[in-house]
């Protein structure tokens, strides 16, 4: 397959050849955002067999659709069934509820969109996917429902055995149940798998985890009692009691055995859930198909949680979070993801912030063939477009946290903001640190502070109205992971990033258990994997928000003296441009940097 562009970036052809000549192995390609990794990966694969290209979020499907069309590759898209379903259309239904409702409607031949599938040929679907000028996956799914009156989920997932490329979100690779719902006719061993943003594998809890709050447990218990499942309701209440003892906002381990979370409880709840919903099906004539598809219950939510919680390699943790208590099921180790990758015909892991080869090999449990594009072919964007400054007067190291230290951080952040005329992103290791620092920032400047309720669209709106805004965000959160803010000419709106401290994971029982689980496998490297590697990825993700193309210029401040530690610096893979111990010198260099770049 040829590149669809006349001008190629340095090394693109070579990287595509590297991939193509090693298909079937475990490959890793590290290249920054804007390099064109997607097209390189596709040119390296397409024409050699089925490809499953997985992305973290639905928003990341569109760029892959664009490249597939440019290449003329046949493709399909698959994401959340309930978001594709025309009967549900935006209603908040838990996945477990949705899939049971959908299954019952199909069994009883009551879903008109499913019944119509038989009338729709794969040619019609392919024609629709290729001819629509839309890239948005939601729009493409709704076109299938509107123009062909067919179920978008089953129509599009059913194309997987026909097309060269299936573009899907992470659960369609990493969650076996979700995979089999979509691809019952195609084994994972028939797919070459491309994992986008593969640095995420280092934090398996961000791929495979689930939680329920106290209200889900409480409502499940009362629903069960109401339907005559008194004994089962008592068992659920016993699980809920584990939350009544929670006092910390840190993750605190709880043994599955002590609260009765096991395969028997899951099976009994599944049976009760199914029976209750089936009884509701009798009233379908009155409520109608749409209302039935939207039926939701806490028991469904709980069943979904227990399906993960009862698996090997998953442990339970309680936490008090904002206005509720939660029970989390979190993976201990990388095995749940490795199991899935092992089944694939071949694997390509891609990211701009991929950890070094020796680390990645430990994460995936085998040797990768690793290509670092910038190390091999030189900087993708001119190196002088970005300035990396280390500021050593501050640290978020626990013993040194104090009001004075938080005020120092506020002074630094405010000074950087006042020296620029575009947006500044300040990134903090936790909500606690951020809230302390912003206490001293709130007057007179345009500020946004991330919260649980943050929507990326709100920040886009704010930046459109006031480009000179200080955005305060938590490392690893919604703003810092995978979002970009550009103006109408495509230029990044963020001109400076201040990373306040090193965003190590908070010390809690989960971090401790995760480290212990890894220690038996990788020895002392477990400490580095759990702490330094995760923190270094959060740092590189943070400053990656500012540099999205060769046109962008950014000043990055790594504000913590621990950035000078040799091991951490190596993990970041950076050459620092300067180290400052006083603020005036740092600001003077920042002003020079922007003055020089304005003059260019």
The interface with ligand SF4 within residues 114-143 (CB under 6 A) comprises: 114
Q: How far apart are CA 302 and CA 212, in angstroms?
A: 7
Residue 331 in the binding site for ligand SF4 (CB under 6 A): no
Closest contact distance (angstroms) between CB of 86 and ligand SF4 is 6
Bridge partners of residue 346, in order along the sequence: 192
Binding test (CB under 6 A) with ligand SF4, winner from 52, 54, 195, 293: 293
Binding test (CB under 6 A) with ligand SF4, winner from 26, 79, 154, 305: 154
Stretch that binds ligand SF4, among 100-108, 349-357, 383-391, 537-545 (CB under 6 A): 100-108
Stretch that binds ligand SF4, among 146-154, 277-285, 384-392, 441-449 (CB under 6 A): 146-154
Closest contact distance (angstroms) between CB of 270 and ligand SF4 is 19
Q: Are 297 and 273 in contact (CB under 8 A)?
A: yes
Q: Which is nearest to 41 in space by CA: 348, 415, 267? A: 348
Q: How far apart are CA 210 and CA 206, in angstroms?
A: 9
The pair of three-digit structure tokens given for residue 464, joined into one six-digit string:
């459109």
The pair of three-digit structure tokens given for residue 510, joined into one six-digit string:
């989960």
Residue 182 in the binding site for ligand SF4 (CB under 6 A): no
Binding test (CB under 6 A) with ligand SF4, winner from 58, 69, 106, 338: 106
Strands 386-391 vs 554-559: parallel, antiparallel or unpaired: parallel
Q: How far apart are CA 80 and CA 291, in angstroms?
A: 19
Binding test (CB under 6 A) with ligand SF4, winner from 113, 170, 504, 580: 113
Binding test (CB under 6 A) with ligand SF4, winner from 40, 78, 85, 182: 85
Closest contact distance (angstroms) between CB of 339 and ligand SF4 is 27
Name the DSSP class of 90.
Answer: T
Helix (H) or strand (E) holding 224, with range, is helix 214-226
Closest contact distance (angstroms) between CB of 536 and ligand SF4 is 41
Q: Of 90 and 378, which has the nearer Cβ to ligand SF4?
A: 90
The interface with ligand SF4 within residues 253-292 (CB under 6 A) comprises: none
Residue 54 in the binding site for ligand SF4 (CB under 6 A): no
The interface with ligand SF4 within residues 432-491 (CB under 6 A) comprises: none
Q: How far apart are CA 314 and CA 302, in angstroms?
A: 16
Binding test (CB under 6 A) with ligand SF4, winner from 39, 64, 100, 105: 105
Q: Are 101 and 296 in contact (CB under 8 A)?
A: no
Q: How far apart are CA 389 and CA 370, in angstroms?
A: 29
Report the largest interatomic distance among the alpha carbons of the chain, rounded to a whole angstrom: 76
Residue 102 in the binding site for ligand SF4 (CB under 6 A): yes
Q: How far apart are CA 542 and CA 475, in angstroms?
A: 7
Binding test (CB under 6 A) with ligand SF4, winner from 19, 111, 165, 348: 111
| Counts of helices then strands in the chain (DSSP H, E) | 29, 18
Stretch that binds ligand SF4, among 105-113, 126-134, 258-266, 318-326 (CB under 6 A): 105-113
Q: Are 562 and 500 in contact (CB under 8 A)?
A: no
Chain residues binding ligand SF4 by CB under 6 A are 81, 85-87, 102, 105-106, 111, 113-114, 151, 153-154, 293
């Amino acid at each position: 397959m040829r590149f669809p562009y006349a001008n190629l970036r340095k090394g693109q052809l070579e990287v595509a050849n590297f991939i193509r000549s090693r298909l079937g192995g475990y490959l890793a390609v590290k290249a920054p955002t804007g390099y064109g990794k997607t097209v390189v990966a596709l040119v390296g694969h397409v024409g050699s067999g089925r490809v499953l290209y997985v992305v973290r979020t639905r928003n990341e499907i569109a760029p892959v659709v664009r490249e597939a069309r440019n290449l003329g590759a046949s493709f399909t898209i698959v994401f959340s069934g309930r978001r594709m379903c025309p009967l549900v259309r935006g209603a908040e239904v838990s996945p477990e509820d949705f899939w049971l409702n959908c299954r019952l409607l199909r069994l009883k031949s009551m879903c008109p969109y499913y019944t119509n599938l038989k009338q729709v040929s794969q040619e019609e679907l392919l024609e629709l996917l290729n001819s629509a000028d839309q890239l948005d996956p939601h729009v493409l799914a709704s076109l299938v429902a509107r123009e062909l009156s067919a179920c978008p989920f089953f129509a599009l997932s059913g194309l997987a055995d026909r097309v060269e490329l299936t573009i899907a979100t992470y659960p369609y690779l990493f969650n076996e149940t979700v995979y089999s719902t979509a691809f019952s006719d195609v084994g994972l061993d028939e797919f070459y798998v491309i994992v986008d943003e593969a640095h995420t594998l280092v934090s398996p809890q961000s791929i495979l985890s689930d939680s329920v709050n106290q209200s889900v447990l409480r409502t499940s218990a009362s629903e069960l009692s109401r339907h005559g499942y008194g004994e089962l309701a008592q068992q659920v209440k016993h699980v809920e009691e584990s939350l009544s003892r929670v006092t910390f906002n840190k993750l605190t381990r709880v043994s599955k055995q002590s609260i009765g979370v096991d395969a028997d409880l899951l099976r009994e709840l599944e049976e009760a859930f199914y029976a209750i919903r089936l009884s509701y099906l009798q009233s379908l004539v009155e409520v109608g198909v749409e209302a039935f598809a939207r039926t939701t219950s806490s028991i469904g939510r709980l069943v979904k949680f227990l399906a993960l919680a009862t698996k090997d390699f998953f442990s339970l943790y309680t936490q008090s979070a904002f206005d509720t208590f939660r029970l989390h099921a979190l993976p201990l180790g990388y095995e749940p993801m490795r199991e899935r990758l092992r089944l694939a015909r071949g694997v390509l892991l891609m990211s701009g912030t991929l950890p070094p080869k020796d680390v990645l090999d430990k994460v995936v449990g085998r040797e990768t063939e690793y290509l670092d594009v910038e190390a091999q072919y030189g900087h993708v964007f001119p190196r002088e477009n970005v300035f990396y400054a280390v500021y050593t007067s501050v640290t978020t190291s626990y013993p040194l946290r104090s009001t004075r230290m938080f005020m120092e951080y506020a002074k630094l952040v405010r000074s950087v903001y006042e020296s620029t005329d575009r947006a500044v992103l300040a990134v903090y290791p936790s909500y606690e640190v951020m809230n302390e620092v912003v206490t001293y920032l709130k007057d007179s400047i345009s500020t946004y502070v991330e919260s649980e309720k943050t929507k990326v669209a709100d920040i886009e709106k704010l930046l459109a109205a006031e480009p000179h805004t200080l955005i305060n965000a938590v490392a690893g959160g919604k703003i810092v992971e995978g979002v970009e803010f550009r103006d109408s000419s495509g230029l990044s709106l963020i001109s400076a990033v201040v990373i306040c401290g090193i965003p190590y994971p908070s010390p809690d029982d989960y971090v401790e258990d995760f480290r212990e689980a890894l220690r038996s496998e990788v020895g002392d490297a477990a400490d580095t994997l759990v702490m330094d590697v995760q923190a270094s990825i959060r740092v590189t993700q943070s400053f990656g928000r500012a540099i999205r193309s060769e046109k962008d210029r950014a000043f990055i401040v790594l504000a913590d003296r621990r950035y000078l530690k040799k091991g951490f610096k190596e993990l970041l893979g950076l050459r620092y441009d300067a180290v400052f111990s006083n603020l005036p010198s740092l600001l003077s260099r920042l002003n020079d940097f922007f003055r020089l770049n304005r003059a260019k």
